[in-house]
Every structure is written in C-alpha cells, then in structure tokens.
Amino acid sequence: MAGTFVSTKINGDQTEFVCQAGETLLEVLRNRLGLTGSKEGCGTGDCGACSVTLDGRLVCSCLVLGVEAQGRKVNTIEGLADGDALHPLQSNFIKHAALQCGICTPGFLIASKALLDRNPNPTDEEIRFALAGNLCRCTGYDKIVRAVKATAKDLRKK
Amino acid sequence: MKYQTPSTTKEAAVLIKRERGKAFVLAGGTDLMVRMKTGLTEPDLVVDIKHIPAMQSIKKSATGFRIGAAVSAAEMGENAPLKKAWPGVVESANLIGSDQIQNRCTVAGNLCNASPAADAVPALIAAGAKANVVGPQRRRTVSVEKVITGPGTTSLAKGEVVEAITLPKRPPKSGDAYLRFIPRSEMDIAVVGVGVSLTLGNNSVIKSARVALGAVAPTPLLVSAAGKAIVGTKLDKAALNKLAEACSAACNPIDDKRGTVEFRTEVAGVLAQRAAKIAYKRAGGK
Amino acid sequence: MANDTKFRNRQFKSVGTRPPRPDGLDKVTGRAKFGADTFAPGQLIGLVLRSPHAHAEIKRIDTSKAEKLNGVKAVITSKDLPDLTNGDRDLYDTLENCMARDRALYDGHAVAAVAAIDAPTARKALKLIRVTYKLLPHVTDVDEAMKPNAPLVQPRVYTRGVSPKPKSPSNVAKVSEFGHGDVEAGFKAADVVVEKSYKTEQAHQGYIEPHACLASVGPDGHGELWVTTQGHFIYRNTCASLLGMEVAKLKVTSSEIGGGFGGKTHVWMEPIALALSRKANRPVKLEMTRDEVFRSTGPTSSTSIDVKIGVKKNGKITAASAHLRYQDGAFPGIWAMLGAMTAYACYDLKNVKTVGYDVLVNRPKVAAYRAPSAPMAAFAIESTINEVAAEIGMDPVDFRIKNAAKEGTKSSYGPTYGPIGIGPTLAAVKKHPHMRAKLEKNQGRGMACGFWFNFGGETCTDLNIGVDGTVTLTVGTIDVGGARASLSLIAAEELGIPYESVKCNITDTGSLGHNDMTDGSRGTFSSGMSTIFAARNAIEELCQRAADTWEISVKDVVWDDGKATAKGKKHKKLKPLSLDELAGGSPNTGGPIAGHSQIVADGAGVSFASHICDIEVDPETSATKVVRYTVVQDAGKAIHPDYVEGQFQGGAAQGIGWALNEEYIYDENGRLQNPGFLDYRVPVCSDLPFIDTQILEIPNPNHPYGIRGVGETSIVPPLAAIGNALSDVAGVRMTHVPMSPPRIRKAIKENQA
C-alpha cells in the first residue's frame, strides 16, 4: 500500500515524512523521525507517556494518526528546552526529585506545560486532575506535584 | 487502510456508503484508535470529519444550541453560553477521560461508539437532545435516546453520519446535572451514570423532568417513571425515594470487571437523588 | 581494614546531602535511552503469538503460510529452542515459560514468534500461523487448585517439603514451615484467640515501560542484546544457557529502565528475540504491548491466608500461626515460602508457626513484586493484630509496641535480630502529629507495620581516576531509583572530593565482572559497599603514589579530606598532595590510578516501617479516597534523602493501589479480562494525597555507613493500614483485597443485616 506524504511542523521545524495511513503519530515520531522522547506505555491513551501537543492542545500521540499531522504543529519533549536553557519545569523536576526511572517524565513535562499555559496559578487539586492522564508508578506523584507548583510560582514571578 | 478528509458531510456519507470494506468515521479517534490498536477493528477506510466546516462549531440560536460533530469536549467546556445553559451536558462531556482525551473526544463520537456506559449520553438524553443525521440521499433528525440500540450498535444505516447534536431552547428556571460513579477519581469508565434535566414552575415545584441512566443496561436508558416521580414535587424526601426506586427498578445491569449487579442497582438510585438535587439547585429551586 | 564492613559512626560531608542526579538532564529532555529507544540498521520487527487458552494441548503448529509471506525472515516455535537445560529444573521452567512446548499453560503463553521487515507484515504473519489446540480443564484459583480433583497444571511437579515423599504429582509444588516454640500450648494459655481468613487478588508491578529489547546474533555464536532489565548479567547467563551460547560471547547492555519493581529480574521474551535474530541472521527488535505485559510477564501471587493469634488480657501474644496459600502461576516458585517467612517478622514471639503452600495454577509465572509476598501476609497479620487489640480493649499502636521485635529477638523466620527499627518506627508513629490530626465526617484512621529483608549478593565495581582528578565509577548494578547519585555520593565521601567530580556509569556485561540484579533492596547496600571498597582500594594506590613521590614509606601516608598527607614530625615539611595533583602526575608515577572491588556483599540489614492512613468513605456509595498518608521507615543511613523519600512514597502508592483497586480479573474460561491500564486500575495523580515521610536511621552494624536497603518495605504496610482505616470508619473488617467499593458496600450491608 503506497504511503502518504505528510508535511508538518515539529518543534518549530518544517518536517516531511511518508507513512502508512494506519500509523499513529507516536509511531511516526519514534520510528520514522527518531524522536524517541515520547514513549509508548500502553498504546491506548491510558498512561499519557506519549503526550505531545497538536496545535497547542495536549493529546496522546498514540491516539492520533500520523497523517493527521498534515499542516499542523506538533510539539514534543525534544522541543521543550530552548537550546541549552532548560524550561523551568525541567529544572524543577530535577531539583525536586520529581523523577525516578524517568519513563513517564516527558509525558508529565508536556502535560504540566499545557496546564501552566492555560492556568498559571493552579491549586493542588487542579494540578492533580490536570495530570490524571499521566501515570507514574515510581514516585506516588508527590514530588511531581511539588515541582509543578514550584514552577508555577517561578513563572508567575517572571 | 485508506484515509480521506472530505470537506462536506454529504461527501463523508457517500465515501462511507460506497466503501465495500469496513468504513469508519474518525472524529477524536479516542475510541476508534483504541480498537485499531487492540485489533478489534481493522478499517479499510477511515473518513476524517474534522475538515468539514458544518461540524466544527457550536452555534447558539433562538431554537437552542447546535454542537458540530467534530467539536471536542474541551471546546464545549470553553463555551460560556453552552455551560451556562446546559451545565450538566457540558460536565458530562468534560468527564470523558483525561485532558489528553478531552482535547480530542467528541460527544457525537461518544454517542456513536454506543457504549452502554458512555458518559456524554445520559445528560444528552435528559436534555432532550437530537442528532442531525446526514446520509448520501437525505437528512433526518433523531432523538439521542433512539440512536444506541445495543452495546456497540446504533440505528444509523451504513453511510449515515451524525453532523451535529442539537439541544432545545432552554426555558427559564431550568437546570441539569450529570453524576457518575467510578472507583478512582478519574480515568475510569462509568460504573453508573445519571443525567437529570428539569424545569421549575411556580413556587419551585418541578414542572417537567427527564432522567436518564448509563452503564446499568445494554443501552443508556430514558427512565420515564423516574422523571414522573419528581414532577409536581419540590424534591422532598418521599419524591427522592420514589426517584431512587424508579431508577433502581429500571436497571438491568451485569456483573463485570467494573461492578456488580447489586452495586450498580443501588448506586443508580443514590446518584439519581444527588443529580436531581444539583439540577434543582441550578434551576433556582429552594 | 580496607574491606571492613563494620559500621563506624562518623560525620558525613557528601552522604546525606541532596545534589541533583546525574541522569536527570537526559531524562527531562527525552534523550535518555530506554529499552525501545534504539534501532539497528537492517533490523526486523519481532512479534509473539500467544495462546488465548488457559490450558490446552498444542497438537500442531503450522507456520508454512507465515514463512512464505513476503517480508517475513524468520518464524520460530519451541522447536527452535531445544532443551539444553541438562536437568536444571528452574532453567527448564524458564525455557517452557518463554515458549510453550507441548501445552499452553495460561492465557498469554507464547506459542510461536515471527520476525519481519515491519510491524504490519509481522502482524499479518502471526495471523497466518495455524495452531491446533485441544482444550484442557483449567484452574485459576489458589484454593481450587489445592482440591484433590483439580486439573493438574504440571505433571512433573511433586510436592517438596513434605514427608514421606509423595507418589503422585500435585499442584502444591512446595510446603515450607517456619517458627519456633509450641503454638498449641501457647493458644491454650491465651485468654483470647482470634482466627480469621483473608484473600488477596493478583497484582502486577505496573511499570510504565513495557519490556523491549534489540537482539543481534550472528552465525559465529557472538551476540549482543540491548534490553531493559534489572539484571543484565543474570539475563546474559540465562539467555546464553537457553540458546546454547557461551556467556562471554553474549554482550548484554542495559538500557535505562522504565520501572521494574522485580518484574524485570526474569527473562520473558528476550530468548525469543535472540532465537529469531539467530535464525534470520539480522537484528530483531521486540517490544511487548501493554496487553502482553499484563498477560505474559510476571505478576505477583494471589493468596488465601488463615491467621490465628492468641493473647493474654495484658496484651502479650502467647501464640501466633498462619497458613499461607500463594499461587505461583504455572511454574513452581518460592512465593508462599517468603510469605511464611515475613508474616510475623515484626513481632517478638515465644510460640509461632507459619506454613506456606506454593500452588500451581493456569496463570502467568509469578515474579517478584517489591518485597514479594510480604504485603499479602502483612495484610492478614496486621488486620488480625487490630482485631486482637480491639478484643482486649488495647490501643493498636500500644499493642504492637508491647509485642514488637527488638535486638536479640529470635525472628519468626529464624535469625536473631541485631539493632532494628520496628520499635523506633512505632514510637515515632505514636508521637506523630498525624495521629492527633482531626478526622472529618466519614473519615477513619488506621496504621500497620511492615518488614522486608535486604539482600547482598555478588557485586563488582571499578573506580578509575582520570588524569584531571575526576573519577569514573563503573558499576554493574542497574539504577532503578537514583543509585548513580547515591553511589557518586559514597565515592565522593570516601575520596573526600566533591560529588560533581564523580561520574557513575552502568556498564555492559563485557566490561565488568558479574553483578547480581537490582532486587532485594540490594542496590545501594551492595553497590554502596562495593563502591566504598573500590574507593579504599584506589586510596591505597593514591597513598602509594604519594609515598613514591616523597620517597617515604607508605606507612607514613594517610588519606584525609581528598589529600594524601605525610604524618609524623619528620615529614612536617611535606605539603599534602591532592587527588588532582596525584592524578595529574600519574603518568609519571606508574600509570592510571584505579580501584577495584568484587565482593559477595553480606550482612544486609532488615528494614521495618510503620504507616498511618486516613481514609474517607462515601456512606452511600462506598467511594473511597485516601486523604492523608504517612510513612515512617528505618533506612539505616539515608545516602540521598530525596531518593529515600521517593522510595517511601512510590512503594506506599503501589500498596494503596493494590489495597483499593488493582486486581487481575479472570473469566470462567481462564482468560484475563483486564490486561490494560483502563481496567487494571493503578492510582492516578488525583487519587492520592501528598505522602509524608519520616526517615529513621538505626545504623546497620554490618555496613560501613550503616546503610539498609529501603526500596521495598514501603509497599508492605499499606494494605493493612487501609484495611484498618476502613474498619475504623465503616465498622467492617475487610478480608478481601482489593477493597473496592462494591466489596466495601457488600461488607457494610452484611454487617447491618
């Protein structure tokens, strides 16, 4: 079956690829574009490890077809830092020990950024519900929530 | 697998009707993509409706609201007039999954996926919502409670596509609410779902009411006896008890990995009482 | 002196601080490479065909159509994995679990596999494989499997641990007994005896990263395996044995691991990947789907436990016993034995007897899950302890304090304890502000204790000093929770240099001697000890270089605060030489300076914990929420307190999920109904409160820094802590885990009736 040619923007860079119609955006990112920062934890939208933003909206890339990226903007974990300047979320995750094994971390960072972009002063409960779509099995979420809170505070100061 | 992006509803309907193999509508993809991943569904054709202008917006008019089939639950939650008029419908749509799911899923998709536990459906039924259905030859309108015919099956013919969900004009002193039971705080399929919509007459007496249940039968149910139980009352204890009894009586659930028959039957009554109280308060009832 | 394991109390400079971890940057940028994050040119995609039946004879496997499909490069069945196990029973079990031989033993058991040029082709090929099954009766419940006419899971298994030796095979693979004293006499002497039975359902470790590997084997018998694992040396040994490869010729490199908790200490599909690669003569990438992870890896046991405790009115336990029935899946294990060992470990008992039954069922092969077998036993015992305390009108914490084990106690599983933390954690709980916090409407409070042994094991470490004085620490113990940071702190502490000067690497199997896997909370304990010895070994060399430079006897050189100092009045004029200076001069003083250690770390300390839990229950629906949680646990010495807290919180969260909602649900055909995160319900962020932690430090006398392993104990108390909290708020004793809302509702209604 002939593939489909897709032209899109990934982390601000013009990107083109060919994929089969049935391939997910996650499969395209990882297997065709080498962007392995987004992870497959379940493939069915239950764990959030594959979280990216699509035209600024937080989505599970395992539930988006690669062909749907045509003409749209995709942002992944690889684009979160600005060159060698980490995003405050990234530095705070390290500082607050908000990661152990790290497999869920890219998904949490993307989801946390999506939260803080729309709600710069979230309550603890708002943080927890906004991140309910991201599973972590190592931390019990405690230090993750603290890192997001601290970042919200840091960003509000700026 | 073929992927098409038609720009009109009719085009979408024709593509699906013509497909010899298995054709599916792709809106948010939060059900279809899961079925594809688990191998339950192997489409020959996927028709992406998100490029169809007639499906992309929420419109308020004199006759009520029209929610395009490609509108995401998140967009519904961001529409202030819709939230104000139909807080129950909107909160039920906003309960479907995580933020990641919310940004993609649609109530039309939730309806057409036809799960008995669909979160958006009980409140739509209670609201008296209708589906605008477009086929290759004709258009028709059908009450939402008549769309789902069984687990995973709808009354839509092959080639018929839901273009929009409409909500009727809202009389003053009306309120609606949706509550569901899930074992965690998020991310679960409803074990029980209850939608209540009511309108008050004079003195905060309920003039009309519709009550719908989800996840307690092979399809979501409009329970007329439950609505009748609270009409003409101010939701006193007796009325609430009758309401709970009517709901429990209407249940026809199964024991499955999410809940037992006795649990669902009992909790349906409890949640109906709570949802009715919230709807009553929202309608201005005292 | 160098390899002295005795704890010496000292002031630490690096140990106990909280610097950022070295792998943090890669993990927050997406650069870190996990099991599925590597690719090889020309790689094939491997997929596994799995039995949908709980128990079936495999009459025939026809792979001809699959082999002919364009793009398919290899198809294998058990024929491609000949039995080279040479009578090694455990190894044969591993072989049979990797791929079914004559029978499929559980829903998800591998029966064949393919390697093809891409995933769609591999999926098509799997569909073309025709397996002819003859269905056999199956059994999935542990008590059902023990009944005399239960379907037999393994005809080659005869019960071990019974006398006389049995003549017929059985589903009871092993009986283990522990204890001392005379429980019959003890029960007779009791004023009150409480007997209760409990059931716990099967849970999975739930790591977010599915198993994945990239295997590459050539016809010359040399191979490489990139894999997510808790023990790449163990994986190497097992895979080499199963494939008939020589150990030194199989190089296994561990990726970053996306969670393991014991589930990645055992091979599952890795031998399949290697066999496919060997047959196709191309690299094969094999990733498990989430569905496969649940069905076909190693969950923990489901159990059925009877508890009997006798007590005097003054609160002293006179006798305690337990019968613990654990299912091991379709292959024998030691899981009931571990349960029987840990059950009463927290208590000082004169008369105690525990009997464990390891039982076979048609379920996946059970693997370790964080303090394996202890949580279920603790649920049963700690729930009963509360019942007993209530019967005699004593406060549950005071009751535990009165009966707690202490230094000198003969444990219920045999050894005599040195200084231990159970008493201190109970005292800390008693004083903790959580115990005095006000409870709101519909809320209740419970507490419980837990125990886990820690293991030592084979450990090998290299420490190399670069010419600029920075240090490379090479270890073979997988980093599951921040070990690289902790080990760097330890090396920095020993050498007296800044933490930032140390870089810790986990190396492949070709570059270091054998290291046991990271389990049994042995990571920091064993690698920490080995790091200390490697550093001291390097310090010996550094002192020798200083002595040579000064032309004095090495006996006159001491190492302190990162410098070699010449001691004694006669050497007063000699200025100390720093590590940087000695490193810089090393090309002229004898070459690279390094230290090495290879040990079998011994003397691991045991770790105790006490937890407090507040729970809120909706009185009409039994919806349950944990509203406050506190972990008090003994760490011996917290090398990096942030990571110790993280282990406490993570283990508690897993215990809470297991207590409330996590369970394997099988239908009447023995098929797993919920192999996904939708219906296998692990806690999400909004389910949990902040988890408070209090680290106690009762030094382990057999470790230079007093370290005890901390990673596991925190999963042990939550099941009972929650059970006890539910008892407090709803007035019901829950005896079936998970204590999900329908079960709570049913218990409350039965209680009201």
- Cα diameter, chain A: 54
Strands (E), A1-134: 4-10, 13-19, 51-54, 57-60, 73-75
Distance CA C405, CA C409 (A): 6
Distance CA A94, CA C31 (A): 14
- Do A132 and B187 count as a contact with CB atoms less than 8 A apart? yes
Of C30, C480, C691, the CB nearest to A77: C30
Is the per-residue pLDDT at C525 higher than 90? no
Domains along the sequence of chain C with CATH: 24-32+456-601 (3.30.365.10), 44-137+205-296 (3.90.1170.50), 303-452+604-752 (3.30.365.10)
Distance CA C386, CA B174 (A): 51
- Interface confidence (ipTM) of the complex: 0.98
Query: What is the CA A54 to chain-centroid distance, rounded?
Result: 10
What is the model's pLDDT at position C343?
Answer: 97
SS3 C47: strand
Residues 90-119 (A) with a CB less than 8 A from some CB of C: 90, 93-97, 99-106, 109
Residues of C in contact with A90 (CB under 8 A): 28-29
Is the per-residue pLDDT at C459 higher than 90? no
Q: What is the pLDDT of residues B1-35, one digit of tens each?
A: 999 999 999 999 999 999 999 999 999 999 999 99
Length of chain C: 753
Look at B49-63, C24-38, C501-515 and tell me which has the smallest mean pLDDT.
C501-515
How far away is chain C from the Cα of B181, in angstroms, using its nearest Cα?
8
Chain B residue with the nearest C-alpha to that of A53: B100
Of B1, B37, B46, the CB nearest to A43: B37
Strands (E), chain A: 4-10, 13-19, 51-54, 57-60, 73-75
What is the model's pLDDT at position C2?
Answer: 59
* C348 near A CB under 8 A: no
Of A47, A77, A94, the CB nearest to C677: A47
Chain C residue with the nearest C-alpha to that of A1: C120
Is the per-residue pLDDT at C480 higher than 80? no
Distance CA C440, CA C687 (A): 18
Mean pLDDT rounded to a whole number for chain B: 97
SS3 C714: helix
Distance CA B104, CA B93 (A): 11
pLDDT band at C277 (very low <50, low <70, confident <90, very high): very high
Is the per-residue pLDDT at B191 higher than 70? yes
Distance CA A112, CA C287 (A): 28
How far away is chain B from the Cα of A44, in angstroms, using its nearest Cα?
5
Distance CA C594, CA C478 (A): 22
Is the per-residue pLDDT at A83 higher than 60? yes
Chain A residue with the nearest C-alpha to that of C680: A46
What is the model's pLDDT at position B90?
Answer: 98
Is the per-residue pLDDT at C616 higher than 90? yes
Q: What is the pLDDT of residues C430-453, one digit of tens each?
A: 999 999 999 999 999 999 999 998
- Do B3 and A21 count as a contact with CB atoms less than 8 A apart? yes
Through-space distance between the first and last CA atoms of chain B, rounded to whole angstroms: 57
Q: What percent of chain C has pLDDT over 70?
A: 99
Is the per-residue pLDDT at C510 higher than 90? no
* Over residues C296-304, mean pLDDT: 98
Chain position carrying tokens 């399929």: B189
What is the model's pLDDT at position C520?
Answer: 64
Q: Which chains touch C (3 or more CB pairs under 8 A)?
A: A, B
Q: What is the pLDDT of residues C244-269, one digit of tens each?
A: 999 999 999 999 999 999 999 999 99
Of B188, B263, B270, the CB nearest to C742: B263
Distance CA A106, CA C678 (A): 21
- Do A135 and C691 count as a contact with CB atoms less than 8 A apart? no
- Do A46 and C210 count as a contact with CB atoms less than 8 A apart? no
- Do B181 and C741 count as a contact with CB atoms less than 8 A apart? yes
Chain B residue with the nearest C-alpha to that of C742: B263
Mean pLDDT rounded to a whole number for chain A: 97
Q: What is the pLDDT of residues C81-117, one digit of tens each?
A: 999 999 999 999 999 999 999 999 999 999 999 999 9
Is the per-residue pLDDT at C604 higher than 70? no
How many Cβ atoms are within 10 Å of A156's Cβ, its own excluded?
Answer: 10
What is the model's pLDDT at position C517?
Answer: 80
Distance CA C205, CA C260 (A): 7
* C96 near A CB under 8 A: no
Residues of C in contact with A128 (CB under 8 A): 685-686, 688
Task: Check: CB of residue C317 under 8 Å from CB of residue C307.
Answer: no
Chain C residue with the nearest C-alpha to that of B187: C678
- Do C620 and B263 count as a contact with CB atoms less than 8 A apart? no
A contact test, residue of B98, B185, B189 with most A CBs within 10 A: B98
How far away is chain B from the Cα of A137, in angstroms, using its nearest Cα?
16
> In sequence order, what are the residues at sequence separation of 6 or more whose Cβ sits closer than 8 angstroms to the Cβ of residue C505?
C472, C473, C474, C475
Distance CA C7, CA C314 (A): 38
SS3 C692: strand
Characterize the bridge pairing of strands B45-48 and B23-26: parallel
Of B30, B46, B50, the CB nearest to A63: B30
Strands (E), C347-480: 352-359, 443-452, 457-465, 471-475
Distance CA B197, CA B275 (A): 9
* Over residues C132-140, mean pLDDT: 98
What is the model's pLDDT at position C35?
Answer: 98
Chain A residue with the nearest C-alpha to that of B75: A57
Q: What is the pLDDT of residues C16-61, one digit of tens each?
A: 888 888 899 999 999 999 999 999 999 999 999 999 999 999 999 9
Chain B residue with the nearest C-alpha to that of A61: B100
Q: What is the pLDDT of residues C356-407, one digit of tens each?
A: 999 999 999 999 999 999 999 999 999 999 999 999 999 999 999 999 999 9
Residues of A in contact with B98 (CB under 8 A): 45, 48, 132-134
Of A90, A100, A103, the CB nearest to C209: A103
Task: Check: CB of residue C283 under 8 Å from CB of residue C42.
Answer: yes
What is the model's pLDDT at position C1?
Answer: 47
Taking each helix axis from N to C end, the angle separating C641-660 and C374-391, rounded to the nearest 10 degrees, works out to 70
The first and second tokens of residue B150, run together, are 């069984």
A contact test, residue of B95, B99, B188 with most A CBs within 10 A: B99
Distance CA C69, CA C83 (A): 29
Task: Check: CB of residue C76 under 8 Å from CB of residue C112.
Answer: yes
Task: Check: CB of residue C456 under 8 Å from CB of residue C527.
Answer: no
Q: Which residues of C352-375 are buried (b: 16+ CB within 10 A; e: fewer)?
A: bbbbbbbbbbbbbbbbbbbbbbbb
Of C24, C30, C480, the CB nearest to A94: C24
Backbone torsion region of residue C318, taken as left when φ is above 0, otherwise alpha when ψ lies between -120 and 50, otherwise beta: alpha
Domains along the sequence of chain B with CATH: 2-49+57-168 (3.30.465.10), 174-282 (3.30.390.50)
Chain A residue with the nearest C-alpha to that of B74: A57
pTM score over 0.90: yes
Strands (E), C453-523: 457-465, 471-475, 502-506
Of A43, A105, A131, the CB nearest to C685: A131
Chain B residue with the nearest C-alpha to that of C686: B185
Domains along the sequence of chain A with CATH: 4-77 (3.10.20.30), 88-157 (1.10.150.120)
- Do A140 and C32 count as a contact with CB atoms less than 8 A apart? no
What is the model's pLDDT at position C481?
Answer: 72
Chain position carrying tokens 């990797």: C98
The first and second tokens of residue C39, run together, are 């690719």
Task: Give the containing element (helix H, strand E) for C29.
Answer: helix C24-29
Beta-sheet strand order (sheet of C471-475): C502-506, C471-475, C457-465, C593-601
C440 vs C150, C437, C722, CA distance in Å?
49, 10, 17
Residues 100-139 (C) with a CB less than 8 A from some CB of A: 120
